[in-house]
Amino acid sequence: MRLKPFFVIASLLFLLLPSVEMKRAGKGRGLKRARHKIPQDRVRARGARRHSRSGPSGLVSPSCSELKESGKIFMDCQDRQLTFIPPANSWSKKPRHLLLARNRIKILHDGAFLGYDSLTSLDLQQNQILQVEEGAFQGLTRLKTLLLQHNRLTTLSDEALIPMPNLRDLRLYDNPWKCLCPLESLIRTLQVPSSRNLGSNARCAEPIWLKNRKLKTIDPELLCTDAAEAIIHQTGNNTNPLEPIPLRGKADSASLCHTYLFPHMRMDCSKRGLTEVPSGIPDDVVQVDLSHNLIRRLRLKDFLGASGLRILNLSSNSMEHIDHGSFFGLLHLQELDLSDNDLHFVQYGVLEDLYFLSRLKLGGNPWVCNYSIHYMVYWLRLHPLVKHSGLWCHSPSEFAGERVEDYVQSYNRECPKDKQPSRAELDTLDPVNWGTPMELQGEVEEDLEPSHLRAPKKYEVYRLS
Ligand SMILES: *[C@@H]1O[C@H](CO)[C@@H](O)[C@H](O)[C@H]1NC(C)=O
Ligand SMILES: *[C@@H]1O[C@H](CO)[C@@H](O)[C@H](O)[C@H]1NC(C)=O
Ligand SMILES: *[C@@H]1O[C@H](CO)[C@@H](O)[C@H](O)[C@H]1NC(C)=O
């Protein structure tokens, strides 16, 4: 009888112990999983890249090609100067994704997509579409995404959308919408709460008193009433109370760049005369091309929010300076192209935000082989998985044409103690990040990085190959 309580306590302990153990183990596993998450994403992206663009295949319409990414097959008919939709029987297999961007299609005729019943995405952006006949989208019962941005549409009947019950994403911006009575039904449809991603950012071009207003926000009551007529007749009358609202001043990526959703989300902002990085790059964009612009400087948090970015192209700008924290937030960036700019060196610390970089293009910059360039070389040594190209000394003349790595090596070979940078030289660089150079000078220089270059460690970075 006296043993019973002990037995109870013992068995309770027995029951409790494993659960404590399990909790611990569970916690550990959770952490491990979190740590593995990013690299796995990377692997997937790499695999996808390897399989990209399988080239023209004999099975498809002669003017289009098949494009594979992430196991999906895209029929790529972009830039083919097409003036019509290829008939559905052009394909040996029914396509699910059809890319028709940058062609010369003007009219979508009734029944243009008959036979395309497997289609889930359709990209018709950057054509010259003026007119969509009411039965044009007949048969597209599975379509989820329809891209009609950057065309010449002035009006569209909501009847045209009825054959697409699964439509979730409809892009209509950058069309010269005439916000008059015939557009009323479409505007009402776009304003239904369940149409959240239909027609966002589409704006009226006419009449003048509604210019630049979003279709989503105008009062449809105004369009087909006598009041509307009266206001229309008043246009040109200076007492008109409704002035067109001006567009926002700050460069916005959605309006300045071309957005492609397929095969992955990509923004083409090249050759736009941009002097700064446009704002509002969405976090699901995988690739941004900012090449051939006039950007002279990258600024703190220019890419904040673009956390999904894997490829960033900044080549052929006039970049002279990259501020601290410019790459902040680029957690997944794999490829960075800085070629053909005016960079002399990269400021200490700038590259520290790029945890998963694997390619860095640096050619065509006037790299100066003085002490300021050492940071770049040490960073590259500490990150041997980063493949880089184009790091050659441009000046001073004694090193011109030499690899920057060779310059740094010869610098270190020649009695580094004598050639320590002077106090004045150090002060020209950002002193906040230099630790305390005088105190550290006595330390043995066996590390890759000279002690005076060492900054306090903010975080540990684990690279998993
Ligand atoms: C503006 O239009 C109203 C109504 O048509 C008219 O009465 C008024 O005189 C006009 N004002 C000017 C400045 O033209
Ligand atoms: C960046 O753009 C330039 C010019 O358009 C192109 O030659 C280069 O291949 C691009 N770089 C990457 C990494 O895509
Ligand atoms: C290296 O050269 C660049 C460009 O001429 C200059 O801005 C920088 O201050 C120089 N750095 C050192 C340590 O002399």
Q: Could you write out the DSSP letters of every residue in 323-381?
A: -TTTTTT-TT--EEE--SS--S---TTGGGG-TT--EEE--SS--B-SGGGHHHHHHHH
233 lines ligand 1 (CB under 6 A): no
Instruction: State the pTM of this model.
Output: 0.67
Instruction: Give 239 Cα–ligand 1 centroid separation in angstroms.
Output: 7
- Please check the confidence at residue 182 and state whether its pLDDT lies above 90: yes
- Please check the confidence at residue 433 and state whether its pLDDT lies above 90: no
Give the residue, by CA position, lying nearest to ligand 3 atom 4.
344
The token pair that represents 164 in the structure block: 């697409």
What DSSP character marks residue 420?
Answer: P
275 with 384, same domain: the answer is: yes
Give 258 or 438, the one with higher predicted confidence: 258
Strand bridging mode 131-132 / 107-108: parallel
297 with 365, same domain: the answer is: yes
Q: Which helix (H) or strand (E) holds 108?
A: strand 107-108
Looking at residues 71-83, what average pLDDT do you find? 90
Ligand positioned closest to the Cα atom of 360: 2
Buried b (16+ CB within 10 A) or exposed e, 230-244: ebeeeeeeeeeeeee
200 with 303, same domain: the answer is: no
Instruction: Give 220 Cα–ligand 1 centroid separation in angstroms.
Output: 25
Q: What is the pLDDT of residues 129-172, one digit of tens each?
A: 999 999 999 999 999 999 999 999 999 999 999 999 999 999 99
Cβ < 6 Å from ligand 2: which residues? 291, 311, 313, 315-316, 335, 337
Give the residue, by CA position, lying nearest to ligand 1 atom 1.
237
- Tell me, what's the pLDDT at 39? 39
Q: What is the pLDDT of residues 334-351, one digit of tens each?
A: 999 999 999 999 999 999
314 with 205, same domain: the answer is: no
- Please check the confidence at residue 212 and state whether its pLDDT lies above 70: yes
Q: Is residue 448 part of a domain?
A: yes
- Tell me, what's the pLDDT at 254? 78
Q: What would the DSSP string read from start to end of 130-188?
A: -EE-TTTTTT-TT--EEE--SS--S---GGGGTT-TT--EEE--SS-EE-SGGGHHHHH
- Tell me, what's the pLDDT at 26? 37
237 lines ligand 1 (CB under 6 A): yes
- Please check the confidence at residue 417 and state whether its pLDDT lies above 60: no
Confidence of residue 40 (pLDDT cuts 50, 70, 90): very low
Backbone angles phi, psi at 346, to 5 degrees: -115, 125
Q: Is residue 255 part of a domain?
A: no
Q: Is residue 58 part of a domain?
A: no
Q: Beginning with the edge strand found earlier in the chain, give each strand of the sheet holding 287-289 in spatial order.
A: 258-260, 266-268, 287-289, 311-313, 335-337, 359-361, 387-389
- Please check the confidence at residue 173 and state whether its pLDDT lies above 50: yes
The CA-atom distances, in angstroms, between 363 and each of 33, 39, 284, 403 are 38, 28, 29, 11
Looking at residues 24-33, what average pLDDT do you find? 38
Q: Is residue 241 part of a domain?
A: no
Q: Is residue 238 part of a domain?
A: no
Burial class (CB in 10 A: 0-12, 13-18, 19+), 96: middle
Q: Are 111 and 87 in contact (CB under 8 A)?
A: no
Instruction: Give 252 Cα–ligand 2 centroid separation in angstroms.
Output: 22
105 with 149, same domain: the answer is: yes
171 with 296, same domain: the answer is: no
Q: Is residue 21 part of a domain?
A: no
201 with 323, same domain: the answer is: no
Dihedral sign, Cα of residue 375, residue 381, residue 383, residue 385: positive
- Please check the confidence at residue 94 and state whether its pLDDT lies above 90: no
* Nearest alpha-carbon partner for 331 in 300, 307, 352: 307
- Tell me, what's the pLDDT at 385? 94
Instruction: Give 319 Cα–ligand 3 centroid separation in angstroms.
Output: 16
Strand bridging mode 387-389 / 359-361: parallel
- Tell me, what's the pLDDT at 70? 79
Give the residue, by CA position, lying nearest to ligand 2 atom 10.
313
Looking at residues 81-87, what average pLDDT do you find? 92
73 with 205, same domain: the answer is: yes
Ligand positioned closest to the Cα atom of 266: 2
- Please check the confidence at residue 237 and state whether its pLDDT lies above 50: no
- Tell me, what's the pLDDT at 225? 74
Q: Beginning with the edge strand found earlier in the chain, give each strand of the sheet holding 72-76 in spatial order.
A: 65-69, 72-76, 97-99, 121-123, 145-147, 169-171
- Please check the confidence at residue 45 and state whether its pLDDT lies above 60: no
Atom of ligand 1 nearest to the CA of 240: 1
Q: What is the pLDDT of residues 257-294, one digit of tens each?
A: 999 988 889 999 999 999 999 988 989 999 999 999 99
179 with 305, same domain: the answer is: no
Confidence of residue 425 (pLDDT cuts 50, 70, 90): low
Q: What is the pLDDT of residues 183-209, one digit of tens each?
A: 999 999 999 998 889 998 899 998 888
End of a domain among 209, 229, 249?
A: 229
Ligand positioned closest to the Cα atom of 453: 3
Q: Which helix (H) or strand (E) holds 121?
A: strand 121-123
Instruction: Give 12 Cα–ligand 3 centroid separation in angstroms.
Output: 71
Of the given ranges (197-206, 380-389, 435-444, 449-458), which has the lowest mean pLDDT? 435-444
Ligand positioned closest to the Cα atom of 429: 3
Q: Is residue 112 part of a domain?
A: yes
End of a domain among 210, 229, 248?
A: 229
- Tell me, what's the pLDDT at 247? 54
Cβ < 6 Å from ligand 3: which residues? 344-345, 368, 370-372, 421, 425, 428
Instruction: Give 451 Cα–ligand 3 centroid separation in angstroms.
Output: 20
Mean pLDDT score across all residues of the chain:
79
* Calpha distance 170→216 (Å, rounded): 13
Instruction: Using most ligand atoms within 8 A of CB, pick from 233, 237, 238 the residue to mutate for ligand 1.
Output: 237
Q: Which pairs count as long-range contacts for 74-82, CB under 8 Å and 24+ apart, including other chains?
A: 74/98, 74/99, 74/262, 74/263, 75/99, 77/103, 78/102, 78/103, 78/123, 79/103
220 with 285, same domain: the answer is: no
Residue 397's domain comprises: 264-453
Instruction: Give 79 Cα–ligand 1 centroid separation in angstroms.
Output: 50
* Nearest alpha-carbon partner for 41 in 415, 220, 309, 327: 309
Give the number of C-alpha atoms closer than 13 A to the C-alpha of residue 140, restricted to the C-beta side. Answer: 27
* Calpha distance 252→278 (Å, rounded): 5
* Nearest alpha-carbon partner for 275 in 215, 335, 326, 319: 319
Give 442 or 242, the one with higher predicted confidence: 242
Give 15 or 341, the one with higher predicted confidence: 341
The token pair that represents 73 in the structure block: 């097959």
Instruction: Using most ligand atoms within 8 A of CB, pick from 270, 288, 289, 386 the residue to mutate for ligand 2.
Output: 289
193 with 270, same domain: the answer is: no
140 with 289, same domain: the answer is: no
- Tell me, what's the pLDDT at 422? 54
- Please check the confidence at residue 462 and state whether its pLDDT lies above 60: no
- Please check the confidence at residue 317 and state whether its pLDDT lies above 70: yes
Q: Are 204 and 177 in contact (CB under 8 A)?
A: yes
Our count of domains for the chain comes to: 2
- Please check the confidence at residue 12 and state whether its pLDDT lies above 80: no
Q: What is the pLDDT of residues 353-394, one digit of tens each?
A: 998 999 999 999 999 999 999 999 999 999 999 999 999 999
* Calpha distance 397→419 (Å, rounded): 19
Atom of ligand 3 nearest to the CA of 425: 13
Q: How many other CB atoms are found less than 10 A from the CB of residue 352?
A: 17
Give 424 or 322, the one with higher predicted confidence: 322
- Tell me, what's the pLDDT at 226? 66
CATH number at residue 406: 3.80.10.10
* Calpha distance 105→107 (Å, rounded): 6
Q: Is residue 4 part of a domain?
A: no
